[in-house]
Amino acid sequence: MMLNLPELILILLITLLVFGVNKLPAIGKAVAHLRLKYTQGLADNYIDSPISQPANSTKPGTRPQPVEDAEYEAPSAEKKD
């Protein structure tokens, strides 16, 4: 969805009325900083994601090793008064 020029002008006028002329440069700087951090975070998550580096990769045609069950104690049915 692309915004056309009239829609962008309307958004700019509304922000101008809400925040005032003096705050617009600070708001622009904050938005640019947030956008930069967001794109850097997306790039970092893509590189470090477990999908890109599988934990237990196996060769095609081989079976994965079975995971041994840990000892598990069922909770007792005794009621404590």
Give pLDDT, residue 73.
63
For residue range 35-70, what is the model confidence (pLDDT) as tens digits?
999 888 877 766 555 555 455 555 666 666 666 665
Give pLDDT, residue 17.
92
Give pLDDT, residue 81.
55
- Residue ranges covered by each domain of the chain: 20-49
Cβ-Cβ contacts under 8 Å for 52 (sequence gap 6 or more)? 46
For residue range 6-21, what is the model confidence (pLDDT) as tens digits?
998 999 899 889 988 8
